[in-house]
Structure 1
Amino acid sequence: MSTRSSCIECSKSSKCFQLLYPDELEFINSRKTQITYLKNETIFKQGAFAPYVLYVMDGLVKVFLQTGNTKQLNIRLAKQGDFLAFSSVFGMNIYKYSAVAVKESTICMIDKAALKKLIMENTDFSARIITRNCSNEDRYLQIIQNISHKQMRGKLASALLYLSSAEFMAENAFQYLTRQDIADFASVTVESTVKFIKEFEKEGLLKLRGKEIEPIDRNKLEEIGRKG
């Protein structure tokens, strides 16, 4: 569903866009399209042509790699204020991953050339936007470590800590995620996910309320995550 709001309004809440001058906001406003996606609706698919950089104006988005015909690896959640496909600004012409709305989400599709122009001309804006996107690199390195070195309990503990981190506190992410989603964040089977979640509950490491998961002993979960 296509909607429309001004980038000037968005700049009041976005730390990145607050650094743009009024004429720059008008410029980027004329070169973006705003779309609202319903829960479970695909925003873009891995391998598709990437004409836009996407900005999450509101909502929560699951970002994942398709690793086979029926397998996927969830790599992160994108929330309000996050960019998707930012690398496409600098020459990546296809999407390297897929994105799906896990709840109703409003996305701004920004022309790549327009965003690149602002990055090149406004150094404060470019520093803020690049710093924000650098955090994704840390997340990807963490995923590699999880897959390469950890046993299943350690993988799941790390995934639960990520999904319940302060970054997503306001979103209460677990209410939108299935056990399969959680399994795909941990790179383990859904059967193992259900089993270990129950074990963690019995050990007093977390509480379960329906779909919601509340870690209550983060230190112990962190220890399990470190030891793998």
Structure 2
Amino acid sequence: MKQNHPSCNLSDCILCRLCLPDWIPAVELNRKVILLRKGQQAFTEGDVVKGIYFIYSGVMKVHQRWDHEKELIVRFARRGDIVGHLGLGKEARYPVSATALEPTSVCYLEMPFFESTLKVNPELTYALMRFLANDLQEAHRAMRNLAHMPVKPRIAQALLTLKNQFGTNNVGFLDFAITRQDIASFAGTTYETLFKVLNELNTGGLIQLNGRDIAIRDEAGLAAIVDPGGR
């Protein structure tokens, strides 16, 4: 990992935005800004927890082993998000891995300093509590869907989630270069099944495929696949 030290953007970084002004110099002294290459891991599932990461730019996937050859993507994290917080539990090892999907810059704090930061910055502590609660809710939803939802609705849900998180470019395609394998891992299915379902959705006019790019053309139609009853 290459270390750098650019100026922190106070409007985007939750760490600096919610810390007391008097604490910012301490953050400046203790932080490390790390540049990750595409495909490089910040940490690996099972690693001893050493610190926490705030994404300054770029996109990462948070994933865990599904079996010996497959992975399940838990979520995607982008600018302003926190990565490594799952290591805050009693088990001092990361339960997931975090991998850069494009060149990514992260602000890294070692855990002892981060814990001290939480003790003296109540707004940051409260925001982290809400973030953890939301993350837990999303994890429960994803596990429920994986257990009970057929594969086609899971893929439709994955596409809607990607659009909501990353938006679209000026011609309507997802504004995020993601591989088919990563979409499959996010939906909890195989590449072959994803390929088949994407072609079905494309033929039905719900999405448009252009090489690796995907555009959602009928969001209501995808939502109806996810929840046929419209609840």
Normalized against structure 1, the TM-score is what? Answer: 0.90
The one-letter code matched in structure 2 to 1:12 is S
Please give the alpha-carbon distance, in whole angstroms, between the structure 2 residues aligned to 1:173 and 1:63: 19
The one-letter code matched in structure 1 to 2:32 is T
2:166 corresponds to 1:168? yes
Please give the alpha-carbon distance, in whole angstroms, between the structure 2 residues aligned to 1:157 and 1:136: 21
SS of the aligned residue for 1:196 comes to helix
Q: Tell me what 2:27 maps to.
A: 28
Please give the alpha-carbon distance, in whole angstroms, between the structure 2 residues aligned to 1:45 and 1:218: 35
The one-letter code matched in structure 2 to 1:169 is G
Q: Structure 1 residues 174 and 184 mapped into 2: Cα distance closer, same or farther (>3 Å)? A: farther
Please tell me the root mean square deviation across aligned C-alpha atoms, in Å.
2.1
SS of the aligned residue for 1:10 comes to coil
Q: Deviations over 1:53-99 (max 9, x none)?
A: 11111100011011222111011000011111113345441111011
Q: Deviation at 1:173? A: 5.9
Correspondences of 1:1-228 after superposition (within 5 Å)? 1-6=2-7, 9-165=8-164, 167-169=165-167, 175-227=176-228
8 Å contact kept, 1:89–1:115: no
Please give the alpha-carbon distance, in whole angstroms, between the structure 2 residues aligned to 1:104 and 1:126: 29
Question: Which stretch of the first structure deviates more once superposed, 99-108 or 82-91?
Answer: 82-91
Please give the alpha-carbon distance, in whole angstroms, between the structure 1 residues aligned to 2:88 and 2:23: 17
Equivalent pairs counted in the alignment come to: 225
Question: Which stretch of the first structure deviates more once superposed, 89-98 or 215-224?
Answer: 89-98
Structure 1 stretches lacking a partner, 5+ long: none
Structure 1 segments, 4+ long, off by >3 Å, are 89-92, 170-175
Structure 2 stretches lacking a partner, 5+ long: none
Q: Deviation at 1:14? A: 2.4
